[in-house]
Amino acid sequence: MSGLLAGTPPLSEHAYVTLVTNADYARGAAALVRSLRLTGTQADCVVLFTGGVADADLDPLRALGARLVRTDLLETSEAFNAAHARKALHGAAPFTKGEKPSFHTPLDNFAKLRLWQLTEYSAVVFIDADAIAVQNCDKLFGYPEFCAAPNVYESLADFGRMNSGVFTARPSEATFAAMAEALDAPGAFWRRTDQTFLQSFFPDWHGLPVYYNMLQYVWFAMPELWDWAQIRILHFQYEKPWQDPHPKARELAPLIGLWQRIEAGGDMPPLESLPRP
């Protein structure tokens, strides 16, 4: 199936879009949508979801007014699917910096590209389901395709790679078709899935400030970069804040606490009151 199935019509020409393929990411997405609403945005919050999500797991998203759009994983070849299966990918390109949760299926990541099929919107901002908005990000709807922040969480060398947890896009079926073709080329192996692919498809990606995609490891690895007043989106790459417990939970406790507060329906505390690393 190549189309998308929307339950409700769009209410804005702009949308924040996320992806959920199972119950765990649906939980993450609910915290994300809550956080976006707290920023006062009038843009739609679209959740692309697959058949892997039970209807009841979408209820919190419905209650928050998210626009739910049913979609499918991409129609990739058997060779592509085999190369990007969790075991094969973790074997060929091991993760040495952090742990991916058991509910993370690398192949599912590529379904992000479906957002280019949301042509009812003139501009969209994709945000991973394991992130929360800390401040309003609507300015990004005026930014061109393709903007993303660098994958900074360890050292200066990180500035040359992008992170695909937050990016700007202009939906277009033509772009989607061109991507689908480039993605599943014979022998293709995208070691960090959609992230490696998007950096290759948009080699001249425009860099957003790191604050639009502040990665949780910056908290302990590069604390001098941490500045609540500037942070727009906080992204829990690797271990997720709802994993209980995880190996870095103690080090990241203040960030996990903030995520939990938003998930529970709390407000965003005054930024100057938040702890510093």
Q: What does the binding site for Mn ion look like in residue numbers (CB under 5 A)?
A: 128, 130, 165
Our CB check for ligand UDP shows the closer of 18 and 275 to be 18
For the window 87-116, what string marks contact with ligand UDP as x by the rule CB under 6 A?
-----------------xx--xx-------
On whether the CB atoms of residues 48 and 17 are closer than 8 A, the answer is yes
- Residues 15-34 touching ligand UDP, rule: CB under 6 A, are 18-22, 25
Q: Of the candidates 124, 161, 171, 164, which has an alpha carbon nearest to the alpha carbon of residue 143?
A: 124
Our CB check for Mn ion shows the closer of 130 and 194 to be 130
263 interacts with ligand UDP by CB under 6 A? no
The C-alpha torsion from 257 through 262 and 264 to 269, rounded to 10°, is: 80
- Work out which of 238, 241, 242, 258 binds ligand UDP, going by CB under 6 A: 238
Q: List the structure tokens of 243.
A: 């994993």
Minimum distance, C-beta of residue 125 to Mn ion, in the bound complex (Å): 14
Q: Of the candidates 203, 206, 12, 233, which has an alpha carbon nearest to the alpha carbon of residue 130?
A: 233
Residues in a beta bridge with 125: 16, 168
Minimum distance, C-beta of residue 117 to ligand UDP, in the bound complex (Å): 16
DSSP state of 71: -
- Say how many residues make up the chain: 277
Residue 98 burial (CB count, 10 A): 15
| Interface segment toward ligand UDP; rule CB under 6 A; list 4-12, 128-136, 175-183, 266-274 | 128-136
Residue 238 binding: pick among ligand UDP, Mn ion, none (C-beta 5-8 Å cut-off by kind): ligand UDP
Minimum distance, C-beta of residue 9 to ligand UDP, in the bound complex (Å): 23
Minimum distance, C-beta of residue 21 to ligand UDP, in the bound complex (Å): 4
Minimum distance, C-beta of residue 233 to ligand UDP, in the bound complex (Å): 12
237 interacts with ligand UDP by CB under 6 A? yes
Q: Alpha helix (H) ranges present in the chain? A: 23-38, 59-63, 78-83, 86-92, 106-109, 173-183, 193-201, 218-221, 253-263
Our CB check for ligand UDP shows the closer of 15 and 20 to be 20
Cα–Cα distance measured from residue 107 to residue 152, given in angstroms and rounded to the nearest whole number: 23
On whether the CB atoms of residues 141 and 42 are closer than 8 A, the answer is no
Our CB check for ligand UDP shows the closer of 165 and 171 to be 165
- The residues of the shown chain that bind ligand UDP, judged by CB under 6 A, are 18-22, 25, 104-105, 108-109, 128-130, 165, 237-238
